[in-house]
Amino acid sequence: MTHALIVVDVQNDFCPGGALAVPGGDEIVGTINAMMEDYDAVILTQDWHPAGHSSFASEHDGKKPFDMTEMRYGPQVLWPDHCVQGTEGASFHPELKTHADLVIRKGFRPGIDSYSAFYENDQKTPTGLEGYLKSRGIDTLTLVGLATDFCVHFSAVDAARLGFDVTVRMDACRAIDLDGSLAAAEEAMRSAGVKLV
């Protein structure tokens, strides 16, 4: 059994003071750093949007952040502009250890958002993470990071669907909790066979 830690989107824009701050997002950094030495591999994911990304509310007339819209691939939450490539907001939290085996950047295609570390939101376009893990013989994953109810949730469900043994360490995650999204995400993860500890 080879076990990887997947650290999801611990970036400045998702921490207090950031453009899309997750409450307490910075509180998990010490816990995550302490966990890293216990795994065979550490993978970091990074939201990496071009300016003017289609998931930004600022790109849709009459829409505001957290409104819903319909994209060609289905319903999409509209977000404040965040994690724009090369900005301080897109950088990893300054206290996060970043000596990882791999950094996966997602959300860089202008017309499609990406929550999961494995697929864009169309559920078809792969990031390449599955192939990397399988080529390394990694079959067991522990996920931590931001936000529990979006990028951690979608990554965990996709990983389970792809046949990995998946655990989410809830003490090393924080949620946005938009209109009950945390409870819905927890239910979806459990239903997919993800262990929440």
Which residues form the catalytic set? 9, 106, 151
Task: Give me the count of residues in the chain.
Answer: 197
Nearest alpha carbon to residue 54 among 114, 8, 117: 114
CA–CA separation, 154 vs 117, rounded Å?
8
Angle at 107 between CA 52 and CA 139, to 5 degrees: 175
Exposed/middle/buried for 37, CB within 10 Å: 0-12, 13-18, 19+?
exposed
Tokens representing 156 are 């965990």
